[in-house]
Amino acid sequence: DDAERLAAFEARVAADEFIEPKDWMPDAYRKTLVRQISQHAHSEIVGMLPEGNWIGRAPSLRRKAILLAKVQDEAGHGLYLYCAAETLGTSRDEMTAALLAGKAKYSTIFNYPTLTWADIGTIGWLVDGAAIMNQVPLQRTSYGPYARAMVRICKEESFHQRQGYEAVMALCAGTPEQKAMAQDALNRWWWPSLMMFGPPDDASPNTEQSMRWRIKRDTNDALRQKFVDVTVPQAEAIGLTIPDPALRWNEDKDGYDFGQPDWDEFWAVVKGDGPVAADRMAARNKAWDDGAWVRDAAIAHAEKRALKRAA
C-alpha cells in the first residue's frame, strides 16, 4: 500500500540511491521536480538573451567565438533539462507554453540589462559562478535524470565562469576607463547574483521538504555563503571592490559576514517586475513565432518520409 511504498521510497532516498523515471514516487516529489527542473530549463533558455545581445558587439573575433560557444551551450543545457523534466510526464510543449504565457518562473538574474561589454565578463564570472555553486551539488540530487544532466552542464559552466573572469581580468589590466567599467559592472551585478540562490532559508517555503527528499543538497543560505567566500578573493586579486560595506572576514566561522540583498526587489522580480522582464518575454515569444515555419517544415518533411517508407 501507499504507506509502505512511501517508506521504501524514503529509505532509498536516505541511502543516496537515485530514483529513476519508472520508479514509484510521491506525487509531491514529482511535482517539485517538474517545478524546479522546468524553471531551471527556462532559465537556461532565457539566459541566452542578455548575452546573445552582445555577440555582434564583442570586441574581438576571439571574444565573439567564445561568446557564441557559450550561448550555444546554454541552449544545450535547456534541452537536456527539458528532456529530464519530460521523464516525469510533462511535455516540452506544455513547459514552453507556460513560459511563453508568462506563467512559468525563470531565474531573476536574467531580468537585468547588459549595458556594457564588462557586463558580459561579469555575467560569466558571477552568474555562471553562482550557477556552478548551485549545480555541482545537484549532480547528487536524488532524481537520476536530473543528476546526470548536471554532469555535463557543470563542466560547461566551469568554462563559462573562467572565460568571464578572464574577460574581467583583461579589463582590470587595461586603461583606467576599462577598469572603471569592470567595477561598475560588478556594482550592478553583485546583489542580483546573490539573489540567484533564492530567498533566505527562513523565507524559503520549499527548502525543508526538498532537502529531506535530497532534491536540494544544500540550503539557499549555505550556497550563498560559499559563493561569497569563493568570490571575494577573486575580486581582490584583480583589484575590484565588492559593493558591500558590511563585508568582513569572520575568523570564527571561517567565512565572510556580508549584507543582505534587497529582498523586496527580489520578490518583485520573481513576480515578473524585473527591469527588462517584458523585453525578455517579448523576445522569447517573437523567437517562437518566427520559428513556426521551421517546425512546420520539419513536420511536413517527417510526414513525407513516413509516407515514402510506407509505400
Q: Which residues bind ligand ACO (CB under 6 A)?
A: 35-36, 39-40, 43-44, 47, 105, 107-108, 131, 134, 195-199, 204-207, 210, 216, 220, 270
Q: Is 230 or 298 the residue whose CB approaches ligand ACO more closely?
A: 230
The position carrying cell 542578455 is: 50
Q: Is 120 or 172 the residue whose CB approaches ligand ACO more closely?
A: 120
Sequence-separated (6 or more) residues with CB below 8 Å from residue 270:
105, 108
Q: How far is the CB of 179 from ligand ACO (least distance, A)?
A: 26
Q: How far is the CB of 199 from ligand ACO (least distance, A)?
A: 5
**Is residue 9 within 8 Å of residue 19, measured between CB atoms?**
yes
Q: How far is the CB of 244 from ligand ACO (least distance, A)?
A: 18
Q: Is 37 or 242 the residue whose CB approaches ligand ACO more closely?
A: 37
Q: How far is the CB of 19 from ligand ACO (least distance, A)?
A: 17
48 half-sphere exposure, CB direction, 13 A CA radius: 20
What is the separation of C-alpha 26 from the centre of its chain, rounded to a whole number of angstroms? 26
Q: Is 183 or 190 the residue whose CB approaches ligand ACO more closely?
A: 190
**Residue 172: count of CB within 10 angstroms of its CB:** 19
Radius of gyration of the chain (CA): 21
Distance between CA atoms of residues 27 and 39, nearest Å? 18
Q: How far is the CB of 214 from ligand ACO (least distance, A)?
A: 13
Q: How far is the CB of 222 from ligand ACO (least distance, A)?
A: 11
Q: Is 107 or 183 the residue whose CB approaches ligand ACO more closely?
A: 107
Within 59-206, residue ranges assigned H as helices are 61-86, 92-100, 117-122, 128-138, 144-172, 176-195
**Is residue 259 within 8 Å of residue 225, measured between CB atoms?**
no
**Is residue 135 within 8 Å of residue 157, measured between CB atoms?**
yes
Distance between CA atoms of residues 96 and 82, nearest Å? 9
Q: Is 85 or 172 the residue whose CB approaches ligand ACO more closely?
A: 85
